[in-house]
Structure 1
């Protein structure tokens, strides 16, 4: 466990908790590093089949940590590139995770916190959740990949409006526009997120990873889709998991996948 990212395993679901409640889980550089380490560790953990990402203290995250001393002018650009690079790596890991990534969000989900949430495969929100792409309020460009991920969730026109207005979106509207997938009472948030994680983890791991990678922009045209099918389907058909799925179907039992 890192002091900024709590990490526990419930069954086969890892729950990673952004843990700086006194700052509403603002994503400092240290927290970025901690989450990168935690994600990489769980990706390699055979006891973990899915990951839930949440926040401590009633909020998911207020966004990037903009408090603290401002770097000297000559170091500002270099420092910004370093901080942004670690933020991008964090989101890159979430987007490319070979295991299902579920965001369980409540309270403030602002700025980079919103970027992190919408990078996940499924977003489960409590009734108190509030979303805001607040970047423009502090004079910055929307970052952490949200210029890519948000339009894929809510459509290009609505994403542009949310980014330009920097307005807050409450949970019911977020569900209506597709920003989140499920809205539940706060008391049910983690249990519902874990249920979603377990359901997605029932998919054969190699097939899940392939579907996710192609769904994240790998098929721009129909011919692209055909080409990827031709490339990947024969490879997947030679795996243990495909053979196991066929055998389990014939034997009327649940398949036991190995990810190979």
Structure 2
């Protein structure tokens, strides 16, 4: 029986999805992309799920695209590449616009499209010894899966350009210092730390979380756009149940119980 491309586990409302092809260093095959998209969609629709952690099995996050897959006939190359990139873009888009927090728990290598998937997440927790690399140029490709957008937003334009042009690997201490990683944990505590981070993000009121996230992915490029977003969204949020609940919980010195409306 073939092992599932994605394995799923739950810890008190936090869902962990693990890329599960360690014999291929969790390369993002077309089948794995489809399986992860389906697993994420199911998790986002599950009311019992408050946040998602994405990790990799076998001590590695992902080596990137599956370049070991058979090369198609010449006339089908462009069509096949568009199909594969399209599914990868759909995956990254799903994570970037998710209604719930998504945390990357990175052990071992996060290379190429694996790095792109990591940077689509809301927070990055890395194990000691993890490595990050925009390795696309080494196989004759440009960075894809949104990395041309997400990497500069994470670490700045000049530094991102250098990493993409040099295709050099970055270890955990350097990744933390440049802002590529948010939290570093011992390998044995990686998933526990990532789950704690996911739970911390899930404490934010759901409507506010979705609004902040949507504006962070390109909704506010100037000060005036930020002002306009505030004028548009803040009055609507003030009418929500969650805002009233937050005020009541603050006055009563208790934890709020949000409903997402």
TM tier relative to shorter chain? over 0.9
Aligned ranges 1:1-260 → 2 under 5 Å:
3-260=4-261
1:134-164: CA deviation from partner (whole Å, max 9, x where unpaired): 1000000100100000001110000000000
CA positional deviation for 1:247? 1.1
- The CA deviation at 1:184 is 1.2
1:250: Cα distance to partner? 1.3
Over the aligned positions, Cα root-mean-square deviation in angstroms equals: 0.8
Q: Deviations over 1:99-153 (max 9, x none)?
A: 1110000101100001100111100000110111110000001001000000011
Secondary structure of the equivalent of 2:124?
A: strand
Mapped to 2, the partners of 1:252 and 1:162 lie a distance apart of 47
Secondary structure in 2 matching 1:217 = helix
Aligned equivalents of 2:168, 2:253: Cα separation in 1 = 51
CA distance in 1, matches of 2:56, 2:164: 23
* TM norm structure 1: 0.98
In structure 1, how many angstroms separate the alpha carbons of the residues matched to 2:188 and 2:72? 42
- TM-score normalised to structure 2 length: 0.98
Please report how far the alpha carbon of residue 54 of structure 1 lies from its aligned counterpart in structure 2 after TM superposition: 0.2
Distance 2:13 2:173 in 1: 30
- Distance of 1:198 and 1:182 partners within structure 2: 14
Shift, 1:68, TM fit: 2.3
- Write the deviation string for residues 163-194 of structure 1: whole angstroms up to 9, x where unpaired: 00000111111101111011111011111101
Alpha-carbon distance in 1 for matches of 2:216, 2:158? 20
**CA positional deviation for 1:7:** 1.2
Structure 1 gaps of 5+ residues are none
CA–CA separation in structure 1 for the residues paired with 2:70 and 2:126: 34
Kindly provide the CA deviation profile for residues 32-51 of structure 1, in whole angstroms up to 9, marking residues without a partner as x.
Answer: 00000011011110000001
Cα deviation code 1:180-222 (max 9, x no counterpart)? 0111110111111011101110000000000011112211111
Q: Distance in 1 between matches of 2:176 and 2:251?
A: 39
Find the residue that maps to 1:93 and give its secondary structure.
Answer: helix
Report the 3-state secondary structure (helix = DSSP H, G, I; strand = E; otherwise coil) of the residue aligned with 1:142: coil
